[in-house]
Amino acid sequence: MSKPQTDPRKQKDSGFDDFLRIYRLAPVEFVEEVLNQNPLPWQKKFMNAVASGKRRISVRAGHGVGKSTVCAWVIVWFAVTRFPQKSVITAPTAGQLFDALFAELKAQFNSLPDVLRESFEIFADKITFKGSPESSFISARTSSADRPEALAGIHSENVLLVCDEASAIPEAVYEAAAGSMSGHNACTILIGNPTRNSGLFYKTHHQLSSDWETMHVSCLDNPLVSQDFINQIKATYGDSSNAYRIRVLGEFALLDDDTLIPADVIDSAMTRDIAPTMNDPMVYGLDVARFGSDRSALCKRHGSIVTEIKSWSGLDTMQIVGQVANEAKHDRPEEICVDTIGLGSGVADRLRELGFNVRDVNVSESSALNPSANKLRDELWLSVKEWLNTRSVRIPNDPQLRQELVAPRYTFSSMGKVIVESKDSLRKRGMRSPDLADSLCLTFASRAAGVGGRVTPWVKGKAVKRKLAGVV
């Protein structure tokens, strides 16, 4: 049996024993008095659970409630008051790990008093105790299904494992880490938005809840979350939607509530009597067929009214160009938004050569304006949903269009961003490709397509791409 290691700080500073007596089991006081921070009640409860010796803690929470901050506080307290110690922080992706939790962790270490801060050295993916860097450190490691062993082999008298965005971490990663967390002074923390109704994180709040200390944090009673954010989610998705449950209430989704656009909203838009105003521009959305069974679809949107959706099957690219050009010569649309993935690129180029104002739209790009959307395709579908919810718009009374608009379901990424069901997934469920609906979505890639009077900062005639000027 190896001899217990002695903290080098005790040898250099006789007052460090007093420091440990005060703060070793008092993380709240440590945060308040050493870090000069003011934790919220739920953060105090969480920290006290760690200090009391709870070995498994799982926290489901809404967006922006202070998860990363409280985890950083706990890790700093753990590293300062224990020797030797090994702490590992992890998240599903490098961006989630290093842009959020590890960045917050470095900021909290830098807020320590000089005498404590100088005991640690901060690296790109690690923070070590200078007196014994191999025995006492904090390591940041991403959690991927193809490398679950990254969290294995963590052994020390004191071990802390913090899993951020825990819903998206593969179970194989947790299994690999389990051996390291078997000691009496080992603590596993799972924390994140409840984006998946499966996996270990879900189980800790359901069938495994008796084995875990569980906590729930809502945005509704959290002063860190703005009312504007809550109102935005409520207005966009409704307060009974899965998006609201996950991002605001911090609750797992209801399995029977996954339709993106409710049927009643679509039906209302098909039966309204609304006249277009003369000042509203005409915008075209063109979805070019990629497969033999798909149709090329052209949507004409005149402000708050979709005047017509046309579709063609079995046409080659030049024939599609001819059909669209004939329509455009008559309507004179301000802009033709074309999905340029696949055959659409050639169609867009030829229409541009003919003198039409064409915008290239790559729906697989990252979202441009809506931080709630995962990709640009998801953003455009959400724009249609928001537009329909204004209750002041009209679309054609077309059964096929109705079916396509109501068909897609939605899920969430590990970051809580909306993912609209793909065309491939719809086909597997026995539904045809939503070509008509997609053409409507494409009209919202136009500068003239602002909802509720808003005008996007997208530049007229230019492709929608990542990191647009003026887009945060």
Q: Give per-residue pLDDT as tens, 195-220.
A: 887 789 988 999 899 999 999 999 99
Question: How are beta strands 296-302 and 282-287 bridged, if at all?
Answer: antiparallel
Helix, strand and coil content of the chain, in percent to the nearest 5, comes to: 40, 20, 40
User: Which residues does the chain have with pLDDT short of 50?
Assistant: 1, 448-458, 460-461, 465-472
Q: Is residue 247 part of a domain?
A: no
Q: Is residue 408 part of a domain?
A: yes
Same domain, 122 and 211: yes
Same-domain pairing of 140 and 275? no
**Residues 74, 163 contacting (CB under 8 angstroms):** no
How far is CA 78 from each of CA 18, 88, 185, rounded to the nearest angstrom? Answer: 16, 12, 11
Regarding whether 339 and 214 lie in a shared domain, the answer is no
| Rounded Cα–Cα distance for residues 332 and 454 (Å) | 23
Q: Identify whether the C-beta of residue 162 lies closer than 8 Å to the C-beta of residue 75.
A: yes
User: For residue range 400-456, what is the model confidence (pLDDT) as tens digits?
Assistant: 898 899 889 888 887 788 899 998 888 877 778 899 999 999 999 886 444 333 334
C-alpha to C-alpha distance for 101 and 96, rounded to whole angstroms: 7
Nearest to 333 by CA among 285, 288, 279, 281: 281
Confidence (pLDDT) at 301: 94
Nearest Cα residue to 288 out of 251, 243, 318: 318
The answer to whether residue 236 sits within a structural domain is no
Last residue of a domain, one of 162, 196, 224: 224
CA distances from 295 to 77, 278, 291 (A): 60, 31, 8
Asked whether residue 443 is assigned to any structural domain, the reply reads yes
Q: Hey, which bits of 125-281 come out as E strands? A: 126-129, 137-140, 159-164, 186-192, 213-217
193 and 271 in a single domain? The answer is: no
- Same domain membership, residue 156 and residue 28: yes
Residues in CB range of 433: below 8 A, 6 or more apart: 291, 293, 294, 295, 423, 426, 427
Residue 21 backbone phi and psi in degrees, to 5: -60, -35
Q: Please count the structural domains in the chain.
A: 2
- Does one domain contain both 276 and 153? no
Kind plus residue range of the DSSP H or E element containing 81: helix 67-81
Cβ neighbours around 277 below 10 Å, total: 10
Structure tokens at 389: 């919810």
Spatial CB neighbours of 59, under 8 Å, sequence gap ≥ 6:
46, 67, 189, 190, 191, 192, 214, 215, 216, 217
290 domain-assigned: yes
The pLDDT assigned to 11 comes to 67
- For residues 29 and 118, membership in a common domain is answered with yes
Q: How far apart are CA 138 and CA 27, in angstroms?
A: 18
Measured over the CA atoms of residue 204, residue 208, residue 209 and residue 213, the dihedral's sign is: negative
Angstrom distance (rounded) from CA 129 to CA 12: 15
The neighbouring-strand residues paired with 215 are 59
**Cα diameter, the chain:** 88
**In a shared domain, residues 218 and 284:** no
Same domain? 277 vs 393: yes
Is 195 within a domain?
yes
Would residue 353 count as lying in a domain? yes
Q: What is the pLDDT of residue 465?
A: 46
Domain contains 218: yes
Domain that holds residue 375: 263-453
CATH of the domain at 438: 3.30.420.240
Question: For 53-178, where are the E strands, in sequence order?
Answer: 56-61, 86-90, 120-122, 126-129, 137-140, 159-164
CA angle 186, 104, 177 (to 5 degrees): 30
> How many residues are present in the chain?
472
pLDDT of 455 reads 36
- The conformation of residue 97, written as its DSSP 8-state character, comes to I
Other residues' Cβ atoms within 10 Å of the Cβ of residue 104: 20
Give the residue among 88, 87, 69, 85 at the shortest CA–CA distance from 31. 69
pLDDT at 447: 61
Domain end marker among 197, 224, 251? 224
Helix (H, G, I), strand (E, B) or coil at 29: helix
For residue 124, the domain's CATH number is 3.40.50.300
One domain for residues 301 and 427: yes
pLDDT at 469: 34
- Asked whether the whole model's pTM tops 0.85, one would answer no
Q: Are residues 127 and 275 both part of a single domain?
A: no
Asked if 282 and 214 sit in the same domain, the reply is no
